[in-house]
Amino acid sequence: MSIAENIVRLKSSVPQNVSIIAISKTRSKDEIIDAYNAGQRDFGENKVQELVSKAGNLPTNIHWHFVGHLQSNKVRNIAPFIYLIHSVDSLKLLSEINKEALRNKRTIHCLLQFFIAREETKFGLSLEEGIDILRSVEFKSMQNIVVAGVMGMASFTEDKEVVRAEFRELIHIFNVLKEKFFSNSQAFKELSMGMSGDFMEAIKEGSTMIRLGTIIFGERN
């Protein structure tokens, strides 16, 4: 199957309310254009340098998502154009994003990334850390960011029950934060969960954004 066929097939098999983010890390400009020509407009990258270089050489109506670990000192490079940052895992980072958004006269949408997996290597906040951020005076003073929801990555395992339990954990976190901090806000609505290996489970559990690389573009080298 070609990249374009994969896009068309996925779009027709995924519910309308679930956004597909094509994770294009390591993929060439031509591969991205193939997906773009099939109607894909949301793309995600996990390295700042790679993202900046691609964004400068591809159509300007692409919505670029950042899904990797983001260092505060690199926010400046993506702040002029980034559409959604999925991977906010500290108050310091959020405050840097706010500052750079202000400098660019923008509002930048962010998701808080939570740690839900059994594995040790993945980044993300605990529920308590998320609560601490959202109730801080510093957060409340930020004018140029919108916290639009949460993101999480499940364990890399064949055991679908483990994966589903982890997704439910993220939904629990989402619901707690929604009730505590965003009960009067329409903006807090996104659940970014699900990758090529587990997006069906994620959709069943209520995902609103699935992040797909391999199933669109093939295996990465």
Ligand X SMILES: *Cc1c(COP(=O)(O)O)cnc(C)c1O
Among 197, 200, 206, 218, binds ligand X (CB under 6 A): 197
Question: Shortest distance, CB of residue 201 to ligand X, whole angstroms?
Answer: 13
Interaction residues for ligand X, span 13-32 (CB under 6 A): 23, 25
Cα–Cα distance, 82 to 100 (Å, whole number): 11
Cα–Cα distance, 213 to 89 (Å, whole number): 22
Residue closer to ligand X (CB basis): 27 or 95: 27
Residue closer to ligand X (CB basis): 44 or 181: 44
HSE-up (13 A, CA, CB side) for residue 85: 33
**Counting contacts by CB under 6 A, is residue 214 touching ligand X?**
yes
Cα–Cα distance, 67 to 114 (Å, whole number): 12
Nearest to 98 by CA among 136, 62, 49: 136
Interaction residues for ligand X, span 99-158 (CB under 6 A): 153
Among 1, 4, 46, 189, binds ligand X (CB under 6 A): 46
HSE-up (13 A, CA, CB side) for residue 220: 10
Residue closer to ligand X (CB basis): 25 or 41: 25
